[in-house]
């Protein structure tokens, strides 16, 4: 604590940072909890012949947040993998990622660094159809790239290491960057993949569409079944809740420490004021009772008895005999702090 009982700059910064982190974590926890509750309350509909009748009975022919499970089927021509033969899909993502080592001047260590230098995503319209053939009901999936979770399968991955000459190695050490290579990846949502879609289900003329919800809830196109997807979100909620509680306790601990320091400083100031008041009252009593002469000859320690000791070798006359006896060993003069070799009684006539 600084003078006046105020917290130091480091303590104030620590409290402010801890409070801000706790508030941020709590905000994330609230958002994750809201998503989990919304997902738990989503209406589960079956992809069968009754689906159209369910939407016709719904207000506005729309279920605002629905869960539906089906199998991916392309509407038009499918997308073919560039690297894997006979691999067909409806979403294709090609990625080139640079890998290199970067020198950290603070820690004096080489750290891995990854950067996407090129990414292209191709899509083609697709439907969700029942796993059993012959049902005749389809759901058109709209804006699949807007999904918060879009399950793509990695069908091809290859790492191309960098070829470096001796001159390149020297230059990289000087610049602080050492290229490792380029990783080429292809991901696809293949035809026939079982998907769990969570979003707004609407009947538009004769077409049933699954699209991003309007209430701000997340849009899912996941290869997990609904129960697994819900458990994943609940696990995320528990994780953020634990982090929030930990940082909340840390914030409370810092605040308690500062308040305890403030309280102790307040008690010390109160005790000091009490001693000063007692000293002032003692002075007033001496002045009032003996006209000031007694105050002049009063012991500097107790301010009540008369000075009766001469300390040698310093020669100061400042204490009564009782206070001299109470001085700690080795005894020193209260005025000049010089060691007392002997004491001579003082007699006032």
Q: What is the mean pLDDT of the chain?
A: 86
Q: What is the pLDDT of residue 182?
A: 93
Q: Are 113 and 219 contained in the same domain? A: yes
Assigned domain for 31 exists: no
Of the pLDDT bands very low, low, confident and very high (cuts 50, 70, 90), residue 234 is very high
Of the pLDDT bands very low, low, confident and very high (cuts 50, 70, 90), residue 233 is very high
Show which of 179, 196, 224 is a domain's final residue: 224
Assigned domain for 35 exists: no
Q: Are 199 and 333 contained in the same domain? A: no
CATH of the domain at 336: 3.30.40.10
Q: Are 320 and 212 contained in the same domain? A: no
Q: Are 172 and 307 contained in the same domain? A: no
Cα dihedral 161, 165, 170, 175 in deg (nearest 10): -50
- The CB-side HSE value for 35 (13 A sphere, CA atoms) comes to 25
Q: What is the pLDDT of residue 3?
A: 52
Phi-psi domain of 337 (left: phi exceeds 0; alpha: psi -120 through 50; beta: other): left
Q: Are 94 and 203 contained in the same domain? A: yes
Q: Are 206 and 73 contained in the same domain? A: yes
Q: Are 79 and 207 contained in the same domain? A: yes
Q: What is the pLDDT of residue 131?
A: 81
Q: Is 179 helix (H, G, I), strand (E, B) or coil?
A: strand
Q: What is the pLDDT of residue 116?
A: 92
Q: Are 217 and 303 contained in the same domain? A: no
Q: Are 69 and 154 contained in the same domain? A: yes
Of the pLDDT bands very low, low, confident and very high (cuts 50, 70, 90), residue 119 is very high
Q: What is the pLDDT of residues 165-184, one digit of tens each?
A: 888 888 888 888 888 999 99
Q: Does the pLDDT value for residue 10 go beyond 80?
A: yes
Q: What is the pLDDT of residue 99?
A: 92
Q: What is the pLDDT of residue 186?
A: 95
Assigned domain for 91 exists: yes
Assigned domain for 48 exists: no
Q: What is the pLDDT of residues 15-31, one digit of tens each?
A: 899 999 999 999 999 99
Show which of 224, 255, 276 is a domain's final residue: 224
Assigned domain for 131 exists: yes
Q: Does the pLDDT value for residue 241 go beyond 60?
A: yes
Assigned domain for 187 exists: yes
Q: Are 87 and 196 contained in the same domain? A: yes
Assigned domain for 166 exists: yes
H or E, element range at 103 = strand 88-104
Share of the chain above pLDDT 90, in %: 42
Q: What is the pLDDT of residues 19-74, one digit of tens each?
A: 999 999 999 999 999 989 989 999 999 888 888 888 888 898 899 999 999 999 99
Assigned domain for 248 exists: no
Q: What is the pLDDT of residues 285-315, one digit of tens each?
A: 655 655 445 556 778 888 777 888 888 888 8
Q: Does the pLDDT value for residue 1 go beyond 60?
A: no
Lowest-pLDDT choice from 93-97, 196-200, 291-295: 291-295
Show which of 178, 199, 224 is a domain's final residue: 224
Q: Computed over its alpha carbons, how large is the radius of gyration of the chain?
A: 41
Cα(33)–Cα(58) distance, integer angstroms: 27
Name the more confident of 206 and 210. 210
Q: What is the pLDDT of residue 333?
A: 86
Q: Are 218 and 302 contained in the same domain? A: no
Q: What range defines the domain where residue 314 resides?
A: 298-345
Cα 223-229-235 angle, rounded to 5 deg? 140
Q: Are 314 and 194 contained in the same domain? A: no
Phi-psi domain of 150 (left: phi exceeds 0; alpha: psi -120 through 50; beta: other): beta
What is the number of domains present in the chain?
A: 2
In sequence order, the 6+-apart residues with CB closer than 8 A to the CB of 340 are 311, 312, 314, 327, 331, 332, 333
Distances (CA, A) of 263 to 4, 250, 259: 12, 20, 6
């Amino acid at each position: 604590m600084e003078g006046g009982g105020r917290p130091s700059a480091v303590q104030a910064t620590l409290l402010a940072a801890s409070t801000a982190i706790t508030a941020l974590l709590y905000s994330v926890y609230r958002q994750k909890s809201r998503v989990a509750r919304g997902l738990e309350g989503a209406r589960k509909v079956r992809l069968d012949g009754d689906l159209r009748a369910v939407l016709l009975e719904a207000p506005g022919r729309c279920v605002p947040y629905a869960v539906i499970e089906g199998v991916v089927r392309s509407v038009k021509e499918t997308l073919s993998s560039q690297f894997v033969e006979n691999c067909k899909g409806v979403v294709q993502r090609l990625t080139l990622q640079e890998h290199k080592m970067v020198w950290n001047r603070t820690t004096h260590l080489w750290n891995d660094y990854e950067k996407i230098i090129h990414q292209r995503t191709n899509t083609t319209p697709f439907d969700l159809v029942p796993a059993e053939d012959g049902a005749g009901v389809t759901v058109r999936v709209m804006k699949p790239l807007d999904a918060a979770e879009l399950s793509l399968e990695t069908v091809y991955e290859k790492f191309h290491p960098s070829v470096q000459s001796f001159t390149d190695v020297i230059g990289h050490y000087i610049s602080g960057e050492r290229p490792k290579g380029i990783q080429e990846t292809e991901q696809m949502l293949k035809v026939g993949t079982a998907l769990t879609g969570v979003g707004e289900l609407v009947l538009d003329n004769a077409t049933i569409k699954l699209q991003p919800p309007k209430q701000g809830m997340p849009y899912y196109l996941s290869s997990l079944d609904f129960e697994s997807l819900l458990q994943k979100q609940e696990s995320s909620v528990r994780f953020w809740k634990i982090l929030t509680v930990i940082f909340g306790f840390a914030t409370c601990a810092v605040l308690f420490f500062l308040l305890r320091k403030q309280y102790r400083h307040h008690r010390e100031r109160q005790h000091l004021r009490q001693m000063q008041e007692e000293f002032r009252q003692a002075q007033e009593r001496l002045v009032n009772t003996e006209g000031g002469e007694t105050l002049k000859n009063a012991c500097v320690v107790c301010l009540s008895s008369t000075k009766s000791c001469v300390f040698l070798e310093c020669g100061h006359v400042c204490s009564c005999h009782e206070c001299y006896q109470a001085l700690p060993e080795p005894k020193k003069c209260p005025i000049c702090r010089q060691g007392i070799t002997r004491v001579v009684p003082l007699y006032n006539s």
